[in-house]
Amino acid sequence: MSTTAEPERRDVLVCIKRTPAVGARIALTDDGLAIDTRHLGFTMGPHEECAVEEAVRIAESHRAAGGTARVTVLTVGPPDAAEQLRYAISMGADEGVLVEVPTEELDPEPTAASILAGLRSAPDTRYDLLLFGTDSAVAGNAQAGIRVACALGLPMVAGVKGIRFDDSGLELRRGTPAGIEIYRVPLPAAVGVKEGINVPRYPAVTGRMRARKAPLRTVPGEPAAGGLRTVALRRPREDRPETVVLGSGAAAAPAVVDVLAELGVV
């Protein structure tokens, strides 16, 4: 429930988003405002999948040390987003909250407002740690996490590729071109996780069985539009790569050397 009064218990919230699983070429809807998802499956963003994995690992190590832990996964989306909540539960999360709104693609203000509505719906739960993907796979606004953190008055670090609990709270790491930045933040805190922090597990068969039966809590969201509008989407120009056959067998070796030299590899 709370963190300071019961230090043996750890509550982690992970916010995820239902995202189309696209191929190399992305089809757009006729109005050009969205991805055409008629033939696509859905997943969660790669940063969020790492966040779920990180939360599950935190819970597992905490339990291994004798404590209790709970991982709650929350999404803001349509009823179909339950699929992503169940996937996270099959990876090892304990429970799911679906904050229901009509679409996957809200702009950042209602997304944050809806997450907060979800948190308010369980006023007795105090999370030690709120994990987000550092940004979402489709919109990439990188705003939902920071908006929630601000509203709750929590410290927030994004782009994080390392999380360690210590006596005073959290030690967070993130990479920069110059080296590694290390942050120390007190709990509770919000963290934007970046892909690469871990390698997410595949859901176990038993996990999937559990996820199938796990109850999800559904909460109404707050979808009223905020200030950011999608005007149009455009597919980047497709460069058809040209394939040049350099030859075959040993005779091709000099040409390969030339290419490598040109690339500065040798």
Binding residues for other proteins, rule: CB under 8 A, are 21-27, 38-42, 83, 86-87, 201-209, 212, 243
Closer to other proteins by Cβ: residue 184 or 212: 212
Contact assessment for residue 225 and residue 110, using Cβ atoms and an 8 Å cutoff = yes
Give me the least distance between CB of 235 and other proteins, in Å please.
11
Closer to other proteins by Cβ: residue 76 or 91: 91
Give me the least distance between CB of 35 and other proteins, in Å please.
11
Alpha carbons 228 and 241: distance in angstroms, whole number: 36
Closer to other proteins by Cβ: residue 61 or 168: 61
Give me the least distance between CB of 75 and other proteins, in Å please.
16
Residues contacting 263, CB < 8 A, separation 6+: none
Closer to other proteins by Cβ: residue 187 or 233: 233
Give me the least distance between CB of 85 and other proteins, in Å please.
12
Instruction: Of 193, 200, 59, give the one whose Cα is nearest residue 127.
Output: 59
Closer to other proteins by Cβ: residue 204 or 261: 204
Give 23-27's long-range contacts (Cβ < 8 A, gap of 24+): 25/235, 25/238, 26/235
According to DSSP, the β-strands at 41-44 and 18-21 are antiparallel
Per DSSP, what are the bridge partners of residue 185? 170
Give me the least distance between CB of 151 and other proteins, in Å please.
34
**C-beta atoms surrounding 44 within 10 Å:** 28
